[in-house]
Amino acid sequence: MVQIIQPNLPSMKNSLLALSILLVSFSASSQRLIQDFFHHGDSPDRVATGEVNLSAIIDQESPVVGCGQPVTLTATIIGAAEIGWKRNGEFINGATTTTFIANQSGLYSVVAISLLCEIESASVEVILESPLNAAILTPSGNSACAGNTVQLQASGGTAQWQWYRNGMMVADGNGELYNASISGSYTVTGNESSVCSSTSLPVEVVINPLPEVLLIWEGNSSICDGDSSLIAAQLEPLEEILWFYDESPVGSEASTFFATQNGEYHAVVTNSTTGCSAPSNSLFLQVALGQEVVIASVAETTFCEGQSTSLTLTSGQGAIEWLNNGQVIPNELNGALSVSNAGIYSAHITGDNGCVSESNEINIEVRPLPNTSFIFEGMGYLCGVDDTLTVSVEEGNSYEWFANGVVLNNATGASLSITEPGEYAVFVSDSIGCNSTSQPLIIELATLPELALEPSGNINLCADQVQYFEALSSGAVQYQWYLNGVLINDAASDYFEATVAGEYFVLIVDNNGCTAQSSVASMQVLTVETPVITDGGITPQGQLLLTGEASGHQWYLDGEPLQGATGMSYLATEDGVYTVVSIEDVCESLLSAGFSVVLGNVSEDEYTLLVYPNPSNEVVVIEHPALAGKEFFIYDSAGTLVKQGIATHARTQMDVRMFSHGIYHLITNSGYKTTFSVVH
């Protein structure tokens, strides 16, 4: 309670008394104006009428902090007729009760007023803070490889931030951003000492270890030029490797690598799960260079069979090996090599450093001597008078022929025609000067063998028969049979069994190599087509059977020949299986397929309108039980009417010799119809 005793001012007593009387009748706003006048006027003196007990206190201690909501202030007032609230020294309109809801930050006070007296409380600071919703953002993910960090970003509002790892405060973690380099569970707290403090949910940070790999030599760390040495990497599961030579990737992804060049080798290993990579240790390869090895030939590298040349080492030091076509030549260890065989020659030299160096290659060509073997057109004898024998050797060279030791004039070709017996030879030279003389060729005179072919001339043979030919000769040792001028394989005896049409002859060879050819036998093979039986229709007398055209036929019933049944048709009057063969000259066809005939009571309407023989070139028979008295019409294949008439009997003959070759249609006025053919 604050008690203020106003000073006694006699000089103004009467004036104040009068003014107090006026205040009773003024409105509250008018009274406030007067109070303000006395409270804030220029006069330092205040007028009071005696002692007044007046106090004003704000119940909350300064500062009062609100977190996202207005702050309610209350005041304890004693002895006041009215009160008023101030913010930052200015009265707040309408704030006239002991309770005030502050929705703005600032310095708040309360004023108690009683008549002409007032008192103002001590100020209380109101701080309104925005609420926080602390969270952690991980812009680049929550994992990193050792040596790198995971960036953590605090969000949720503007605040003073403090970072924690596994519940422990991070000493340097007091900003909006934090770069985590250690695995753990991270949280962040904003405005930790404020009522508006907020702590985020934890974020797990994983710092993955780097893979470790050791490279080792499986081979030697020093090699010769052209060799290689194996490097092995001991990898863990899920690890991938990339090899480097002198800091350049070489692309291999295997756990081993063949090093061939002088320099540094290492690898980068990556864990395929974490993506973390790390370099391996380095290995260094020393490559010893070889030396230049040169060999040369002291003469031409192409020469004739029976000649030779020498190869010599002109450059290189060390132990030497000579090779022919890649194979080491035994016991040849000197710097020179005599060669007489064809091949690709080279040398190896092992130097003092143990490295083997290879020389150039020299291709040695050994040309064979010209071929002087004789090729005969015929046997090696002159067979009979006026016979000519041709002998020859390979083309492409130059030639000189001899007969009985004497050079033959103008005989310079690869072939020589011989008409007289004697001793012959040839001297052959090729383009590089290789030459050779043939062995003597002795040509003798022999007589031709005699030969006759039995039978010969024109021969006719039925299909499926065999014609036996015989070669009649004395002294023949070889037989060659020909059909139409073509040699018959596997026909080498003095007889031949022929089944195929054509011209046959036989060629024989006797002991002297002389040949004779027989006369020609021309053989024809007659093939008779297997007939087919067709249904010609049913007549009152029986069932008409038809077959194809041939010079002759023979009909059978159940396998037995039918006497006199030799035509193109047969009227079957008995039940059974009918067959037929066709006959041309003396040759018969195969037996036709069987045709079953079953006769019984047949009504008139079931009879077929028959035309036979079909085809025909002279006369046909038209037959039907109901044909008599019926009008008939015949049309050709173009639909032109060529004949019409009235049948006088059930079986009527009609001359078709004037009909053109073709197919014709027969129709009766009662609806019966059929077709037949005319051939000329």
CA dihedral sign, ordered 636, 641, 643, 648: positive
Radius of gyration of the chain (CA): 68
Domains 3-129 and 215-288 equal at CATH topology level = yes
Report the alpha-carbon distance of residue 667 to residue 624 in Å, rounded: 12
pLDDT tens readout for residues 37-69: 334 333 333 333 344 689 999 999 999 988 888
CATH code given to domain 375-446: 2.60.40.10
For residue 372, list its beta bridge partners: none
Residue (of 140, 270, 137, 146) closest to 206 by Cα position: 146
Q: Tell me if 432 sits within 8 A of 367, measured CB to CB.
A: yes
CATH 3.40.50.300 for the 294-367 domain, yes or no? no
Report the alpha-carbon distance of residue 387 to residue 384 in Å, rounded: 6
Element (H, E) at 28: helix 28-40
- In CATH, the architecture of 603-680 is Sandwich (2.60)
Q: How close are the terminal C-alpha atoms of the chain, in Å?
A: 159
In eight-state DSSP terms, residue 11 is G
pTM recorded for the entire structure: 0.39
Report the alpha-carbon distance of residue 349 to residue 142 in Å, rounded: 63
State which amino acid sits at residue 275: G
pLDDT tens readout for residues 366-400: 988 888 888 877 667 787 766 777 888 888 789 99
Query: Which stretches does DSSP call E strand in 130-183?
Result: 135-137, 143-145, 150-155, 161-165, 168-169, 177-180
Element (H, E) at 39: helix 28-40
Q: Cβ contacts of residue 379 below 8 Å, gap of 6+?
A: 509, 512, 513, 514, 515
Residue (of 211, 208, 212) closest to 144 by Cα position: 208
Q: Tell me if 119 sits within 8 A of 153, measured CB to CB.
A: no
CATH code given to domain 528-601: 2.60.40.10
Written as six digits, the tokens of 677 are 């053919």
For residue 481, list its beta bridge partners: 506
**Domain spanning 452-526: which CATH class is it, in words?**
mainly beta
What pLDDT, on a 0 to 100 scale, did the predictor assign at position 602?
A: 54
What pLDDT, on a 0 to 100 scale, did the predictor assign at position 419?
A: 85
**Domain spanning 135-208: which CATH class is it, in words?**
mainly beta
Written as six digits, the tokens of 540 are 């009152």
In eight-state DSSP terms, residue 604 is G
What pLDDT, on a 0 to 100 scale, did the predictor assign at position 20?
A: 34
Q: Tell me if 582 sits within 8 A of 550, measured CB to CB.
A: yes
Report the alpha-carbon distance of residue 555 to residue 579 in Å, rounded: 6
> CA 659 from chain center: how many Å?
70
CATH code given to domain 215-288: 2.60.40.10
Q: What are the φ and ψ backbone dihedral angles of 32, each rounded to 5 degrees? A: -60, -40
Residue (of 678, 633, 673) closest to 656 by Cα position: 678
Instruction: Scan for tokens 């109901």, then name that residue.
Output: 626
Which stretches in the chain have pLDDT values below 70?
1-52, 378-379, 385-386, 540, 600-607
Written as six digits, the tokens of 499 are 């089944």
Q: What are the φ and ψ backbone dihedral angles of 129, each rounded to 5 degrees? A: -105, 150
pLDDT tens readout for residues 456-509: 999 988 888 899 999 999 889 999 999 999 999 988 899 999 999 999 999 998
pLDDT tens readout for residues 178-206: 999 999 999 999 988 888 899 999 999 99
* Per-domain residue ranges of the chain: 3-129, 135-208, 215-288, 294-367, 375-446, 452-526, 528-601, 603-680
CATH code given to domain 3-129: 2.60.40.10
Report the alpha-carbon distance of residue 649 to residue 623 in Å, rounded: 8
